[in-house]
Amino acid sequence: MSWYKVEIPKNIVARPNDSVSYSAINATNKKTTIKSAACYSQHMGSLSKYTFDCFPCNTEKSLLPAEDFFLWMKFCAGYGFAPVATIPYTNGEMNCCIFNGNGENRHRIYAGLCCYRWAECLSPLVYEACRLIERRPDFNFYRLMHCVTGKYVTLMGHSFTNVCAPAMSIYSTKPGGIAPRLDLMWALMPRFYFDRGYDKSSNKEQSNLGTTQASLGQEIIKNGLSLPVAKHEDLFDDKWEELFIFGDDYEAIRKCYNKLQPEIPQPELKPITKPKPIHKAVRKAA
């Protein structure tokens, strides 16, 4: 069996909704607690002014084993998908997490909050990620995040990325309908995207003021580059690791991709000055 094939135990299941609970604590230690929140909308406009203490809602027991939860949050914070000051902890049988947003890029804070919500509400995604980490600790976590979100994420309104499961394939960012889950640019971009956008010296955010999902997608669209693969299993090919040595040098990435996969050559880069909307949901008439 291929190393990336993971059998999910019967007790590791997705919850029926995406709700978690959290407390938002401001600089004066004023706490606002939101129970059973489907999203973090009440604080989206000022994420970097709060510390967030997240915990499960309507249950006193998390489905994901605590050791997997700690491993997942460690990697998310270590690779920039959550603030450096991320503190996972347990309260009885509940997996909880503190995110210190003070002075952080708000997009990184939101990504961390999403990663916690997946651990609590979409535990098969995190369980599979942890088994892959154990089997291949050398496997690039940016690629791993791309692989598991492209397999499990379906609630697009509660995600920091447009990468989603095949059931949500109507979401696309490229002419020709290249699904983000099969576009390696969505694995590459977070590596440097979450490391910029906040100027601590002036205490001002420099990043796009749209949603994290839209901002990340616009960064990908602006460079005019797609790196498609034919199927999900192709994402695990070790040859793609070479793409990560070029940082955000898109021309070098394009040339490397064409060398690795010459049967799908990339055109010369033509940056888009006015990005089109990140995506549009197409619904059939009832």
How far, in Å, CA of 237 to CA of 195, rounded?
Answer: 26
Do residues 146 and 251 share a domain? Answer: yes
Whether 46 and 92 have beta carbons less than 8 Å apart is answered as no
146 lies in the same domain as 108: no
Backbone angles phi, psi at 67, to 5 degrees: -65, -35
CA angle 232, 161, 272 (to 5 degrees): 95
Which amino acid would we find at residue 126?
V
57 and 156, same domain (yes or no): no
145 and 103 in one domain?
A: no
Where among 123, 149, 173 does a domain terminate?
Answer: 123
| Residue 178's pLDDT band (cuts 50, 70, 90) | confident
Q: Residue 177 — pLDDT band, cuts 50, 70, 90?
A: low
**d(Cα 200, Cα 195) in Å, to the nearest integer?**
12
**Residue 8, Cβ neighbours under 10 Å: how many?**
14
Average pLDDT over all residues of the chain? 82
The residue-averaged pLDDT of 179-200 equals 75
Do the domain assignments include residue 167?
yes
Q: Please state the rounded mean pLDDT for residues 42-68.
A: 92
CA distance 1 to 233: 13
Residue that finishes a domain, picked among 66, 90, 123:
123
Residues 146 and 253 placed together within one structural domain of the fold: yes
Q: How many domains does the chain have?
A: 2
Q: Are residues 56 and 105 in the same domain?
A: yes
C-alpha–C-alpha distance, residues 182 and 267, integer Å = 18
Is 244 found in the same domain as 149? yes
Is residue 281 within 8 Å of residue 170, measured between CB atoms? yes
Does 170 lie in the same domain as 90? Answer: no
More confident call, 117 vs 41: 117
At a CB cut-off of 8 Å and minimum separation 6, what does 13 contact? 63, 123, 124
Instruction: Please report the pLDDT score of residue 202 as a whole number.
Output: 36
d(C-alpha 103, C-alpha 90), whole Å:
26
Confidence of residue 36 (pLDDT cuts 50, 70, 90): confident
The predicted pLDDT at position 266 comes to 56
Please indicate, yes or no, if residue 273 is contained in any of the structural domains: no
Collapsing DSSP to helix, strand or coil, 86 comes out as strand
Residue 39 has a pLDDT of 79
- Averaged over 139-147, what is the pLDDT? 95
For the cut 50, the answer to whether the pLDDT of residue 172 exceeds it is no
Q: For the residues 60-75, what does the mean pLDDT come to?
A: 97
Boundary-marking domain end, from 98, 123, 148: 123
What was the pLDDT predicted at 121?
95
Structural domain contains residue 195? yes
72 plus 154 within the same structural domain: no
Max Cα-Cα span within the chain: 58
Residue 50 inside a domain? The answer is: yes
Identify whether 72 is part of a domain.
Answer: yes
Mean pLDDT value across residues 1-8? 93
Structure tokens at 39: 């999203």
pLDDT greater than 70 at residue 76: yes
What pLDDT score does 220 carry? 74
Query: What's the rounded Cα separation, in Å, for the pair 224 and 240?
Result: 19
pLDDT band at 218 (very low <50, low <70, confident <90, very high): confident
- The pLDDT value recorded for residue 267 is 52
Q: What residues contact 60, with CB distance under 8 A and at least 6 apart? A: 92, 93, 94
My answer on whether 145 and 254 are in the same domain is yes
- pLDDT category of residue 77 using cuts at 50, 70 and 90: very high
Where are the extended beta strands (E) located within 19-93? 20-25, 31-37, 51-55, 86-91
Residue 144 near residue 128, CB atoms below 8 Å: no
Decide if 57 is inside a domain. yes
Mean pLDDT over residues 157-170, rounded?
76
Over the range 149-168, which residues count as b (16 or more CB within 10 Å of their CB) and which as e?
bbbbbebbebbbbbbbbeeb
Nearest Cα neighbor of 216 from 198, 197, 243 is 197
Those residues with Cβ within 8 angstroms of residue 15's Cβ, 6 or more apart along the chain or in another chain: 63, 120, 121, 122, 123
Residue 14 zone, left/alpha/beta (φ > 0; ψ -120 to 50; rest) = beta
Residue with more model confidence, 257 or 101: 257
The answer to whether residues 146 and 82 belong to one domain is: no
104 occurs within a structural domain: yes
The pLDDT tens digits of the residues spanning 231-252 come to 999 999 999 999 999 888 888 9
- pLDDT at residue 52 tops 70: yes
Same domain, 67 and 108: yes
Range of the domain at 80: 20-123
Q: Is 145 within the bounds of a domain?
A: yes
